[in-house]
């Protein structure tokens, strides 16, 4: 077990560095979405190419997140939490700096180079939150874990706001990438003084214990159901972000709002609410003495305002952006959801779980957007292999369908997953 120290407090260096790391992570994760249109136009693409190639680049970044989640998770359990905190930020910081220099080259076009660099950035971005939450969960006393991890996410999510205003202030997408890379390299200096988790150090010396075995989540039914339920808890968060906020311009038109809605602004306000919700989730869990009650309460809050967003006849941009903020607050159990994932599994699999689970949820956005686009138009494209004719529900109907699926799985998973409040984390998965 780790010895008591000044690092075992809410305002110790591990919590501060994990929070700042997630801040930079969110900045870089959302930056392409914010600069997608101006950067691709600057590279000479027309409106149709901006839409098609922009979607392709986003999918490459999400693919990097899925692959990186497994890579960093396994590495975190095999080599330590700090190895991931250092390695991931170096990877995405270098990729972001290089994004600022993108142009056509003799061996590759600028859009192709952009795609590959965002894939590499996605790999790096996948490791930050899971490793940070794992380290903080293992270092802090169990009565402070919920508050500590909520502080990490609450502060970290403000990176979305800074990303938006960095682009607005400088007006140059290349500078925004340089700023992101510079923030990452600056953070490396802070990480030098962070100590490794005592729980990991103890387990690392036990040669007979299998560490970071990703496939072990699928070889035991009870462990598999725990893992899938942890993923299910997070689905409503990315329904709100990936559908309602990202496609807010389409929902605005469908609702009859005459003034154009800016998706980037809707996403920013959603993350403002998220930051507040994440801070609240830790205190709610502490008050209820239950992770599940805190998550269920916030999930219900977001569900109510999602219904209002879709069906209350919103007719002004101000009302829509306000609802994005309120829905964001409701899905502000993101840190609690990752903490639940970390607490469900033993020290030898904890980093793998905490890192892969949120990135699996992010990867589910691809399925959500596919369903949304298919039922919106009446033609469902099944992974580019073939097309199915489905009921044409329009923007509101398609959004409702994806929402019902996401919230049904989210509530079921939350109510049936084992409670972990106050759980002793010093154990291993056999």
Kindly state whether residues 263 and 332 are assigned to the same domain: yes
Indicate whether 179 belongs to any domain.
Answer: yes
Closest Cα partner for 428 from 347, 351, 344?
Answer: 347
Same domain? For 322 and 234 the reply is yes
8 within a domain of the structure (yes/no): yes
Is 53 contained in some domain?
yes
Domain count, the chain: 2
Q: Residue 158 domain-assigned? A: yes
290: domain CATH number is: 1.20.1250.20
Is residue 170 domain-shared with residue 242, that is, in the same domain?
no
Q: Residue 400: helix, strand or coil by DSSP? A: helix
Question: Is the Cβ–Cβ distance between 100 and 172 less than 8 Å?
Answer: no
The verdict on 174 and 307 lying in the same domain is no
Please, are residues 140 and 339 in contact by the beta-carbon 8 Å criterion? no
Instruction: Tell whether 197 is covered by a domain.
Output: no
Same domain, 177 and 252: no
Tell which of 191, 226, 242 closes a domain: 191
**Domain termination site, one of 191, 226, 248:** 191
Distance (Å) of CA 119 to CA 25, 63, 72, 83, 114: 14, 7, 15, 21, 9
- Complete DSSP assignment for 20-37: HHHHHHHHHHHHHHHHHH
3-state secondary structure of 382: strand
**41 and 102 inside one domain:** yes
Residue 311: CB atoms within 10 Å? 11
Round to whole Å and give the CA distance between 314 and 335.
30
- Check whether residue 50 and residue 169 sit in a common domain: yes
Domain endpoint, select from 191, 226, 261: 191
Pair (12, 117) in one structural domain? yes
Domain that holds residue 29: 1-191
Q: Is residue 113 part of a domain?
A: yes
Question: Per-residue pLDDT for the chain (430 aa), expressed as one digit of tens each?
Answer: 344 444 456 666 677 877 888 888 888 888 887 888 888 889 888 877 877 787 778 878 888 888 888 888 887 777 666 677 778 888 989 999 999 999 888 888 998 999 999 999 999 888 777 777 777 777 777 777 777 777 877 787 788 888 888 888 888 899 999 999 998 888 777 766 555 444 445 555 555 555 557 787 888 899 899 999 999 999 999 899 888 998 888 899 899 888 888 887 888 899 889 888 888 888 888 888 888 999 999 999 999 999 999 999 888 999 999 999 999 999 988 878 888 888 888 777 777 888 888 888 888 888 888 888 888 888 887 766 777 888 889 889 999 999 999 999 999 999 999 887 766 666 565 6
Q: How many helices and strands, by DSSP H and E, does the chain display?
A: 17, 2
pTM over 0.85: no
Q: Does 372 share its domain with 289?
A: yes
Q: Which are the contacts of 384, defined by CB distance < 8 A and separation ≥ 6?
A: none
151 located within any domain: yes
Residue 287 and residue 146 share a domain: no
Q: Are residues 186 and 262 in the same domain?
A: no
């Amino acid at each position: 077990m780790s010895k008591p120290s000044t690092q075992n407090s809410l305002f110790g260096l591990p919590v501060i560095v994990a929070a700042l790391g997630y801040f930079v992570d969110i900045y870089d994760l959302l930056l392409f979405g914010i600069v997608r249109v101006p950067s691709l136009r600057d590279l000479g693409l027309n409106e149709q190419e901006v839409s098609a190639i922009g979607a392709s680049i986003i999918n490459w970044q999400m693919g990097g997140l899925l692959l990186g989640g497994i890579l960093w998770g396994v590495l975190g359990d095999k080599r330590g939490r700090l190895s991931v905190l250092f390695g991931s930020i170096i990877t995405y910081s270098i990729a972001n700096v290089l994004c600022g220099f993108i142009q056509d080259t003799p061996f590759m076009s600028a859009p192709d180079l952009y795609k590959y660099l965002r894939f590499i950035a996605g790999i790096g971005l996948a490791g930050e939150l899971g490793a940070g939450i794992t380290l903080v969960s293992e270092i802090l006393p169990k009565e402070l874990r919920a508050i500590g991890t909520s502080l990490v996410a609450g502060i970290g999510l403000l990176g979305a706001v800074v990303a938006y205003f960095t682009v607005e202030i400088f007006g140059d997408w290349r500078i925004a990438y340089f700023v992101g890379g510079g923030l990452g390299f600056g953070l490396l200096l802070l990480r030098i003084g962070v100590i490794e988790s005592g729980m990991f150090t103890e387990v690392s010396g036990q040669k007979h214990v299998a560490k970071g075995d990703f496939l072990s989540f699928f070889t035991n039914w009870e462990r598999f159901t725990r893992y899938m339920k942890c993923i299910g808890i997070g689905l409503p968060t990315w329904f709100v972000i990936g559908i309602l906020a990202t496609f807010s311009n389409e929902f605005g038109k469908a609702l009859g709002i005459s003034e154009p809605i800016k998706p980037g602004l809707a996403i920013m306000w959603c993350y403002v609410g998220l930051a507040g919700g994440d801070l609240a989730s830790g205190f709610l869990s502490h008050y209820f003495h239950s992770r599940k009650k805190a998550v269920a309460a916030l999930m219900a809050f977001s569900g109510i305002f999602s219904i209002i967003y879709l069906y209350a006849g919103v007719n002004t941009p101000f009302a829509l952006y306000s609802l994005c903020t309120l829905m964001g607050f409701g899905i502000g159990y993101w840190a609690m959801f990752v903490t639940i994932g970390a607490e469900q599994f033993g020290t030898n699999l904890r980093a793998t779980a905490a890192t892969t689970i949120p990135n699996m949820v992010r990867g589910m956005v691809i399925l959500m957007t596919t369903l949304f686009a298919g039922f919106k138009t009446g033609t469902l494209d099944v992974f580019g292999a073939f097309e199915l004719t489905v009921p044409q529900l329009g923007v509101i109907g398609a959004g409702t369908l994806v929402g019902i699926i996401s919230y049904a799985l989210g509530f079921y998973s939350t109510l049936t997953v084992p409670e972990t409040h106050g759980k002793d984390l010093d154990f291993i998965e056999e």
